[in-house]
C-alpha cells in the first residue's frame, strides 16, 4: 500500500490499514475501524454540536429547572389551603405541568453536562459506549416522561376550565373528599401513563420491537459501528447457512453471535452491546423519526397522533374560553366608567394569554409532528434534526408554561415588573376597588370567567348615572 500513500484521490484511515474513496469521508457512515473517517478535524461531532445549541441547552435547562422548581413548591403549599373544587383542580394540574417541565429541564442540563464536562471532543470516538449506556436510556426516559406528563396535564386543565364555564356553580363549590379523591386518582393516572410511555421502549421483554441494533467490541473487525438486525442476520446466514427466511429475535442473535465469536476470537460474553430505543442520537431523544420498516413505528405514530389530538383539544378549549369570556363580559365592557375599563383590560389580557398558550403549543409540537410524518413517508430525511428539536423546539413549553399558567413565582413577578417598566401603558392591574361600602379589593385572574358581583353592580350604577 506504500504506492497509494502519495495519492490524493482516497482517504487513509489513521491506523494506516484502510483506504477509502474520498466520498466516504464525512458521509455519516463509519467505514474505518478506528472511526477516523467520521471522527477527524473536519467532521468530528459532539453530543451537542454547535455553540448555539450548547447555549440553548444550558439556558433553557437552567431556566426551566429554576422556574418550575419554585412553582412546584408554591403549588404544594397552596394545595393544602385550597377550599374550592375548581381552584383545587387547577392547582393539581398546574403542579403536574410544572413537574413535567422540571423533568425536561433536568434532562437538558444533564445532556449539557455530559457534553461539556464528560465527553467534549472525544464523544465521536466513544459514541457507541454512550448510545448503549444506561445513562442515555434513563435521560431519554426522563425527557419523554416529563413531556408527556406536561402534555396530558395541559389538555386536562383546558378541558376542566371549559367544564367550569359550562358549570359556573362548580367554581363556588367546596372541595369534598370525593373531589379530592378523583383529582388524586387523575394525577396518579397521568403520572403512571407518562412513566409507562417512557419506560416501555427499554423493557427487555420488548427488545425485538425497540432495540435499534448491536455495537460490537473493537477487536471484532467484521462489524463497524451499529449493526442492525438485517446485517446481523446476513452475517449469521453466511456462517451457519440458510436461515429459512426466518426473522431472528435479538436473544437468538446474541446467542448465535456468542457461539461464533467465542469460538473464532476466543471472546467471552459482553463483547456486544444493545443500541436501545433512545440511542438513535447523542441527545438520547425518543425515536420519533421512524421509517416504514422500523418495528416500533406503530408505537411512535400512535404517540404522535395522541399528542396532535392533545394540541387540537387545547386549542379548541382555549378558543372557546376566549369567546365565552368575551360574550359573558360584553355588557360590562361597554360601561363608561372604571369598571368597563378594567373588564376591557382583563379581556385583552386574557386574549394575549390564550394566543400565547396556543402559539407556544403550536411551535412546540405541530412542525415537529409534521416532520415526523414526512420522514415516515420518505419525503425527507429528518434524522439530523434530532438535536434541533430536542434542544430548541420541544423544550419551549417547559420555559413558557410557568409564565402562562401561574403568576406566583418570584421570577415571574420580576419579569412582569421588567415588562411593565419597558411598556408602562401595557401594565394592567390584577384587581379593582369596588364602590361597595366595604371597598374590598376584588381579584380577577387572567383566565377567570366568573365576573364578581361588585363589578356587575358598579356597571349598573355607572350606566344609570350616565343615563341621568
Q: Please state, in angstroms and as integers, the Cα–Cα distance from residue 418 to each residue in 74, 349, 411, 412, 414, following that order.
A: 22, 17, 10, 10, 6
Task: Please check the confidence at residue 187 and state whether its pLDDT lies above 50.
Answer: yes
Residue with the bigger pLDDT between 140 and 452: it is 140
- Where does the pLDDT of residue 63 fall: very low under 50, low under 70, confident under 90, or very high at 90 and above? very high
Residue with the bigger pLDDT between 245 and 272: it is 272
The reported pLDDT for the residue numbered 417 is: 60
Q: Which three cell numbers stand for residue 114?
A: 455530559
- Where does the pLDDT of residue 269 fall: very low under 50, low under 70, confident under 90, or very high at 90 and above? low
The reported pLDDT for the residue numbered 7 is: 62
User: What is the reported pTM?
Assistant: 0.84
The reported pLDDT for the residue numbered 278 is: 96
Q: Are strands 10-12 and 19-21 parallel, antiparallel or unpaired?
A: antiparallel
Q: Which of 26-40, 86-100, 237-251, 331-345 has the highest average model confidence (pLDDT)? A: 86-100
Ranges 185-199, 252-266, 269-283: which has the least confidence: 252-266
HEC readout, 221-269: CCCCCEECHHHHHHHHHHHHCCCCCCCCCHHHHHHHHHHHHHHHCCCCC
- Where does the pLDDT of residue 408 fall: very low under 50, low under 70, confident under 90, or very high at 90 and above? low
Q: What is the pLDDT of residues 287-322, one digit of tens each?
A: 999 999 899 999 999 999 999 999 999 999 999 888
User: What secondary structure does DSSP assign to 143-155, as a single string?
Assistant: HHHHHHHHHHHHH
Amino acid at each position: 500500500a506504500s504506492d497509494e500513500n502519495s495519492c490524493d484521490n482516497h482517504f487513509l484511515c489513521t491506523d494506516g490499514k484502510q483506504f477509502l474513496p474520498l466520498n466516504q469521508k464525512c458521509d455519516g457512515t463509519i467505514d474505518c475501524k478506528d472511526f477516523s473517517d467520521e471522527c477527524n478535524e473536519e467532521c468530528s461531532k459532539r453530543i451537542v454540536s454547535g455553540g448555539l445549541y450548547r447555549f440553548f441547552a444550558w439556558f433553557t435547562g437552567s431556566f426551566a429547572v429554576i422556574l418550575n422548581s419554585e412553582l412546584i413548591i408554591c403549588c404544594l403549599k397552596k394545595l393544602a389551603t385550597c377550599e374550592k373544587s375548581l381552584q383545587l383542580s387547577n392547582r393539581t394540574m398546574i403542579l403536574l405541568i410544572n413537574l413535567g417541565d422540571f423533568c425536561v429541564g433536568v434532562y437538558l442540563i444533564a445532556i449539557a453536562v455530559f457534553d461539556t464536562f464528560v465527553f467534549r471532543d472525544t464523544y465521536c470516538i466513544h459514541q457507541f459506549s454512550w448510545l448503549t449506556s444506561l445513562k442515555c436510556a434513563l435521560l431519554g426516559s426522563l425527557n419523554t416522561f416529563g413531556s408527556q406528563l406536561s402534555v396530558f396535564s395541559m389538555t386536562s386543565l383546558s378541558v376542566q376550565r371549559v367544564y367550569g364555564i359550562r358549570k359556573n356553580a362548580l367554581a363556588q363549590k367546596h372541595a369534598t373528599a370525593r373531589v379530592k379523591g378523583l383529582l388524586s386518582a387523575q394525577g396518579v393516572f397521568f403520572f403512571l401513563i407518562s412513566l409507562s410511555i417512557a419506560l416501555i421502549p427499554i423493557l427487555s421483554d420488548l427488545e425485538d420491537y425497540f432495540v435499534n441494533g448491536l455495537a460490537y467490541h473493537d477487536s471484532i473487525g467484521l462489524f463497524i459501528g451499529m449493526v442492525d438486525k438485517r446485517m446481523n442476520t446476513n452475517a449469521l446466514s453466511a456462517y451457519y447457512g440458510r436461515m429459512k427466511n426466518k426473522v431472528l429475535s435479538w436473544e437468538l442473535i446474541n446467542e448465535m453471535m456468542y457461539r461464533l465469536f467465542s469460538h473464532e476470537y476466543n471472546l467471552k460474553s459482553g463483547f456486544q452491546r444493545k443500541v436501545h430505543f433512545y440511542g438513535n442520537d447523542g441527545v438520547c431523544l425518543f425515536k420519533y423519526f421512524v421509517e416504514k420498516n422500523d418495528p416500533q413505528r406503530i408505537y411512535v405514530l400512535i404517540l404522535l397522533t395522541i399528542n396532535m389530538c392533545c394540541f387540537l383539544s387545547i386549542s379548541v378549549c382555549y378558543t372557546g374560553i376566549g369567546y365565552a369570556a368575551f360574550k359573558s363580559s360584553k355588557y360590562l365592557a361597554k360601561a363608561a366608567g372604571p369598571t368597563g375599563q378594567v373588564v376591557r383590560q382583563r379581556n385583552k389580557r386574557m386574549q394575549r394569554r390564550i394566543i400565547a398558550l396556543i402559539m407556544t403549543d403550536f411551535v412546540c409540537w405541530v412542525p415537529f409532528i409534521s416532520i415526523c410524518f414526512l420522514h415516515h413517508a420518505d419525503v425527507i430525511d429528518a434524522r439530523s434534526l434530532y438535536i434541533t428539536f430536542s434542544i430548541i423546539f420541544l423544550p419551549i413549553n417547559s420555559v413558557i408554561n410557568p409564565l402562562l399558567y401561574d403568576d406566583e413565582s418570584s421570577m415571574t413577578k420580576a419579569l412582569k415588573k421588567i415588562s411593565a417598566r419597558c411598556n408602562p401603558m401595557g401594565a394592567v392591574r390584577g384587581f379593582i376597588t369596588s364602590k361597595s361600602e366595604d371597598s374590598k379589593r376584588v381579584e380577577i385572574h387572567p383566565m377567570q370567567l366568573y365576573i364578581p358581583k361588585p363589578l356587575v353592580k358598579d356597571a349598573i350604577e355607572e350606566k344609570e348615572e350616565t343615563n341621568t
